[in-house]
Chain A
Amino acid sequence: MERVGAIVTFPDFERLEGYFSSFKEDLVAVKTIDELNRIKGKYLGRNSLLGELLSKLRELPQEEKKKWGQKMNMLKTEMEDMLKEKYHVLHFEKEKRKPLDITLPGKKQWTGTFHPVLIVRDQILAIFRSFGFRVESGPEIESDFYNFEALNISSDHPARDDQDSFYLNEKWLLRTHTSPAQIRTMQKLTPPFKAVVPGRCYRRDAFDATHSPMFHQIEGLVVAPGISMGDLKGTIEAFVHRFFGKERRTRFRPSYFPFTEPSAEVDVSCGVCWGEGCRACGHTGWLEIMGAGLVHPQVFLNVGYDPEVVQGFAFGMGIERIAMLKFGVTDIRWFLENDVAFLEQFKTLR
């Protein structure tokens, strides 16, 4: 490295002044950060004049030491500040020279999505949890006792045909609804209780736009003394308002299920035409969303409850159907196909 001033003497203001002005001249000429680093070494490094002078300070008498020490430190600080400033200028100049094309696409990673059927399931469960319901579960392989007998579906009922259920052997089958979980829940819990049970169900239906051999249901069951159709109606209306929106109306129609009496079918007013009648609702203004009713006394007897002491209501809804209504999905098969482009459309729901 080049040395400035080989012979060191104290005190020598002029030399220091000259040292400082040559530093300034050099600094002006600096164009790159590399050059700047070289200048820094030349004037402030261990082997520079200033460095050597500083290291020899202690040889001076006390008075002199203080005087020169202050001076040289001031000079050093000023030079360092100037270097820092120059560094900033060079650094930002360099940045200016290389503008990025911000119109190029960003490096997006994959977009995750929940499955639409499970989005709807989770939304429904969250609403019922907020109503104070427990979430229970049951097996998908059920015995005919749980799936049929205990639910008052007698052995000559059409629903028990091979035609409609997948059997594994004489006694066991894939559950055709989540209603067997009603029985299991009653066996597990002690009234009063409120519970919902989600799950997969299977029926011997060939695939078409509205049928699938596998689908999801949510079953609800409330058992307590004095439960009435009014409790069922109030609960379901509250659910419809939460899930579909305050402006949607609910309609209860009589219906028939072997395990409820009285039984009802629940409709919600069509959200496309607001009840006027359109293609979405088959020109009726109403969309069927669930079956419901008061628990049949025989069902209570089947699990050892006394129907004179407790009453209850139950309901069940098909999640795919509700998801189809909610998202305007026209073919149930899309749910099981899992085309990632289909799934990606649900990215805003998480």
Chain B
Amino acid sequence: MKIAYSILKRFLKGLGLSSYELADLLIHQGLVVERVWGMEEIFALPIFSALVEERRDKLGYTECLVTFQDKTFSVAVEKWGAPSPGDKVLITFKNGIPHFSPSRGEEKRGLLPFLLTLPENFPAGEDVSEALLGEDCVLDLEITSNRGDCLSIIGIAREVAAKLDLDWGYPANCYHEDDSSVTFSLYDEALDLCPYYTGKLITHIEIRPSSWPMAKDLYLLGLRPINNVVDATNLVMMETGQPLHAFDASKIRNKTVVVRRARSGEKLITIDGVERVLSKEMLVIADDSSPIALAGIMGGENTEVSPLTETVFLESAIFDRVSVRRTSKLLGLRTEASARFERGVDPERVKYASERVLSLLSQEGEMTVAKAWFIAGEPPQTERSIVVSCQKAREVLNCSIEKEQMMKILGRLGFGVTPSQHDQMIVDVPSFRSDVSLPIDIIEEIGRINGYGAISSRFPTFPFDPGNEEEEDHLEQTIRNFLVNRGYKEIVTLSLINPKTVQELGIEDDQIITIKNPLSQEHSMLRSQLLVSFLEVLRLNMVRERNHFGIFEVSKVFSPAPNGEQSWKEEKHLGIALCGSLFPPLWSKGLQVDLYVLKGLIEEMIDIIGLHSQQVIFSYPEEEMAGFSKVGAFILKDPQGNRLGWGGQLEEKLLWKLDIREEIYYAELRVEEIFRLSGKKVLQVQEINVFPSTTRDISLIVDQTITWGQIEAVLYESVREHQMDVEDIGVFDLFEGESLPPDKKSITFRVVFRSPRKTLSDVEVEYWVSEMKKKLKDMRGVYLREEFFHS
């Protein structure tokens, strides 16, 4: 909403602030000043051509070619705002770039609502800023949705008056009426959506361009001057906040105006030239056969005031906020009028607004107005009184403010205030403040005008609260710290994913949640696992030739809950992806990541959160895992067989579709399930073992199908059986090749023996080794190397 300093002054006596002081005052009262427009270089230019193109959204726009000092600029304006060739329009320059209208919001879309046509006597190509603005300035305000009353000059005047303790008031109206009898019928068939409708008839008027002062006012307020009647209604809307509409009365068939709901499928061409298809819930103004206006939003082309118009039906009414908002949303049509009805207008000023229009028009030229009012319904009663405790106000605002000061502030804002006993006051809420209904609302008003700066700061005083840190949060932090210290980069990805990618990649997702009203198909599903999001990050980095890194994310995934109170399940997952080389493979040999780097990382994590390697078991997937290569996929399970995660090497075929040529290793863990296994553990330090260790290497030749896990299990079985003091068992050589039969491989592992009680003797160790060997020899397809080659 724009206000001009010169116009504001007409409603406020004794305003003497600079534009920046005014802006500062408004900001501190909750009216955001987006911008202050001061004097600028403004030039008048002739227009060469206007060209209309259709847009896909059915809203037309016009491109105007504007020349200035032999340069031609192209401007896109809304169709109804296009000037004719030969007209002079207004252009401003900012850093050498032309701006055709100070309407910032519109500039963003690259489309201006209109070009301001200047009076003919303005010379082209010259500085007209003095003539247009003088010392004036324009403030661009952002009004919060509760303050419909501030979508008017008078509303802003009240705000300034309350702070500066000035007088404000509505200008008195003055116009001539005659007694000639007129016949016009008005029916309000939808009192629920239009509780109050007034009409006034101008029986004769000449339609012509507004005088320059009125056109200038409109321009300053960001509106396009059209003709005297329309301009007067628009200016009064800006002044009072009450939208009005002027119909060409001669085009209203049978002199009948009906306020009613539209019939399904009914059509109306609005004054922007667009045909609107209406539905039953929309409120229209109609004559006795068809709609002539979208109530509270926009008039119809069929009754638009034109240069040929002689009689005018002037509407001023109250329309239901919700109805206007819904209709405006459904039609994608937001106007200055709809914005005001949505936030509520002042029921007490409906008639005043009409009279104000007539007063302005009578200053513009000759006209005759019929004395009669056409009225349906009555203004809704809004009277209410609120008892406010001054002490309570002081407590809430934590500042010392006198009762008199409170009463003064409220009085200037238009509230009726009566002092009452016990430090209380009775506050009557004015008709234009529908947002105020509770004592706390009144306290906010006092605090707002008194200034939030006057609130004295303090700390809440509290009984001691030991606070909380959930074990799961702590473990999550542990994992994040670990991974970052290991060199992994934490990522944050969108939870919304593309169903096409999911389908293309063949990632199973039957349990996926779809968004009913997505912004785009690309982001229309909620992910049930993190992999899809990771692929996008991997692809982007590969495209930018960043090939060596590890990334991770801890984030929620979603699925429909099978059945239960809550219909959705949210679960935290940890995703890890790694690719390339752990060292830069430049002058030294790099260390290429592989499945065992990934596995090692998971094992370390399991270790540091206090879990035993037997609690999180790596196993082969029962079936092929979509997205993963057959040779390198694994499932993580707890001892009961519940799935804790999965991972492996990503399938080449899948990666190629994304133009990724690197090997990628990926794992996804259900961290909440894993943390649950962890439980609370008390760390008890063990005695430091200072006895010497003894190591023995054992070489085996085994069938290709035998896994290390099987051998390890057998070894630990014998460790338990004979209570061996084993510190560690580790593979240190794996070999398959020419010296071995093709179905065999060689595994050498090292056993470290160390007792916490004594130095082990050779005899003991030899005995244990022989027991281990005995046990191994009992396994099918396992041979001791020394025996295999001799047999």
List A residues at the B interface (Cβ < 8 Å): 104-105, 107-115, 117-118, 129, 132-135, 139-141, 156-158, 161-163, 166-169, 172, 174, 192-194, 200, 202, 204-206, 213-214, 222, 224, 226-231, 233-235, 237-238, 251-256, 261-265, 294, 296-297, 311, 335-341, 343-344, 350
> Across the interface, do B325 and A113 meet the contact criterion of CB distance under 8 Å?
no
> Across the interface, do A107 and B397 meet the contact criterion of CB distance under 8 Å?
no
On whether A214 and B495 interact (CB within 8 A), knowing A132-B462, A206-B519, A237-B457, the answer reads yes
| CA of A337 to CA of B465, assembled, Å | 40
Given contacts A167-B515, A233-B456, 17 further A-B contacts (CB under 8 A): A113-B489, A132-B462, A132-B467, A166-B517, A166-B518, A200-B555, A206-B519, A224-B460, A229-B396, A231-B398, A234-B457, A234-B458, A297-B438, A338-B489, A338-B537, A343-B491, A350-B485
- Chain B: minimal CB distance from A254 (Å): 3
List residues of chain B with CB within 8 A of the CB of A156.
321-322, 325
The residue that A339 contacts in the complex, of B458, B495, B544, with Cβ under 8 A, is B544
List residues of chain B with CB within 8 A of the CB of A141.
513, 526, 558, 568, 570
Q: Does B473 belong to the interface (CB within 8 Å)?
A: yes
The residue that A335 contacts in the complex, of B492, B523, B583, with Cβ under 8 A, is B492
List residues of chain A with CB within 8 A of the CB of B540.
337-339
The residue that B146 contacts in the complex, of A193, A214, A256, with Cβ under 8 A, is A256
> Across the interface, do A110 and B488 meet the contact criterion of CB distance under 8 Å?
yes
On whether A135 and B582 interact (CB within 8 A), knowing A230-B456, A261-B440, A335-B492, the answer reads no
> Across the interface, do A261 and B444 meet the contact criterion of CB distance under 8 Å?
yes
| CA of A222 to CA of B458, assembled, Å | 14
- Chain A: minimal CB distance from B429 (Å): 15
List residues of chain A with CB within 8 A of the CB of B453.
251-252
Q: Write out, one digit per residue, whether chain B residues 429-469 have a CB within 8 A of any chain A CB (1) or not (0).
A: 00000000010110110011000110111111011010111
| CA of A135 to CA of B465, assembled, Å | 12
A-B contacts, 28 listed (Cβ < 8 Å) = A110-B489, A111-B489, A140-B570, A158-B145, A162-B517, A167-B515, A168-B513, A168-B514, A168-B526, A174-B515, A193-B465, A202-B495, A213-B519, A213-B523, A227-B460, A228-B455, A228-B458, A229-B396, A233-B452, A234-B460, A251-B453, A253-B32, A261-B438, A262-B447, A264-B452, A335-B492, A336-B493, A344-B489
Of B342, B396, B452, chain A has the most CB atoms within 10 Å of the CB of B452
Instruction: Report, nearest first, the 5 A-B pairs whose CB atoms are least far apart.
Output: A230-B398, A110-B487, A254-B30, A256-B144, A234-B457
- Chain A: minimal CB distance from B33 (Å): 9
Q: Does B484 belong to the interface (CB within 8 Å)?
A: yes
The residue that A252 contacts in the complex, of B452, B549, B558, B586, with Cβ under 8 A, is B452
On whether A168 and B494 interact (CB within 8 A), knowing A112-B486, A231-B460, the answer reads no
List residues of chain A with CB within 8 A of the CB of B480.
114
On whether A109 and B582 interact (CB within 8 A), knowing A238-B459, A262-B444, A338-B540, the answer reads yes
On whether A135 and B517 interact (CB within 8 A), knowing A261-B438, A339-B546, the answer reads no
Of A162, A169, A204, A253, chain B has the most CB atoms within 10 Å of the CB of A253
Q: Does B511 belong to the interface (CB within 8 Å)?
A: no
- Chain B: minimal CB distance from A81 (Å): 28
Q: Which residue in chain A gives the minimum CB-CB distance to B543?
A: A339
> Across the interface, do B465 and A229 meet the contact criterion of CB distance under 8 Å?
no
> Across the interface, do B491 and A112 meet the contact criterion of CB distance under 8 Å?
no
> Across the interface, do A118 and B441 meet the contact criterion of CB distance under 8 Å?
no
On whether A338 and B544 interact (CB within 8 A), knowing A235-B459, A255-B144, the answer reads no
Q: Which residue in chain A gives the minimum CB-CB distance to B33?
A: A284
Q: Write out, one digit per residue, whether chain B residues 512-536 have a CB within 8 A of any chain A CB (1) or not (0).
A: 0111111110010010000000000
| CA of A131 to CA of B623, assembled, Å | 52
- Chain B: minimal CB distance from A69 (Å): 31
Q: Which residue in chain A gives the minimum CB-CB distance to B492?
A: A115
- How big is chain B's contact interface, by range? 35 or more
On whether A230 and B494 interact (CB within 8 A), knowing A113-B489, A213-B523, the answer reads no
- Chain A: minimal CB distance from B26 (Å): 10
The residue that B468 contacts in the complex, of A105, A134, A237, with Cβ under 8 A, is A134
> Across the interface, do B440 and A262 meet the contact criterion of CB distance under 8 Å?
yes
Q: Which residue in chain B gives the minimum CB-CB distance to A335?
A: B492
List residues of chain A with CB within 8 A of the CB of B397.
228-230, 262
| CA of A261 to CA of B488, assembled, Å | 45
| CA of A168 to CA of B463, assembled, Å | 42
> Across the interface, do A254 and B459 meet the contact criterion of CB distance under 8 Å?
no
| CA of A339 to CA of B496, assembled, Å | 19
Q: Does B99 belong to the interface (CB within 8 Å)?
A: no
Q: Does B541 belong to the interface (CB within 8 Å)?
A: yes
The residue that A338 contacts in the complex, of B30, B492, B515, with Cβ under 8 A, is B492
Q: Write out, one digit per residue, whether chain B residues 9-30 have a CB within 8 A of any chain A CB (1) or not (0).
A: 0000000000000000001111
List residues of chain A with CB within 8 A of the CB of B568.
139, 141, 168, 172
The residue that A230 contacts in the complex, of B144, B457, B555, B588, with Cβ under 8 A, is B457
| CA of A134 to CA of B465, assembled, Å | 9
> Across the interface, do B492 and A117 meet the contact criterion of CB distance under 8 Å?
yes
The residue that A226 contacts in the complex, of B144, B395, B399, B520, with Cβ under 8 A, is B395
List residues of chain B with CB within 8 A of the CB of A251.
453
| CA of A9 to CA of B453, assembled, Å | 110
List residues of chain A with CB within 8 A of the CB of B495.
140, 200, 202, 214
Q: Which residue in chain B gives the minimum CB-CB distance to A170?
A: B516
| CA of A244 to CA of B271, assembled, Å | 52
> Across the interface, do B145 and A336 meet the contact criterion of CB distance under 8 Å?
no
> Across the interface, do B452 and A228 meet the contact criterion of CB distance under 8 Å?
no
> Across the interface, do A118 and B492 meet the contact criterion of CB distance under 8 Å?
yes
Q: Does B710 belong to the interface (CB within 8 Å)?
A: no
> Across the interface, do A114 and B484 meet the contact criterion of CB distance under 8 Å?
yes
CB contacts under 8 Å to A, within B325-343, are: 325, 329, 342
CB contacts under 8 Å to A, within B300-329, are: 321-322, 325, 329
On whether A110 and B548 interact (CB within 8 A), knowing A118-B492, A168-B515, the answer reads yes
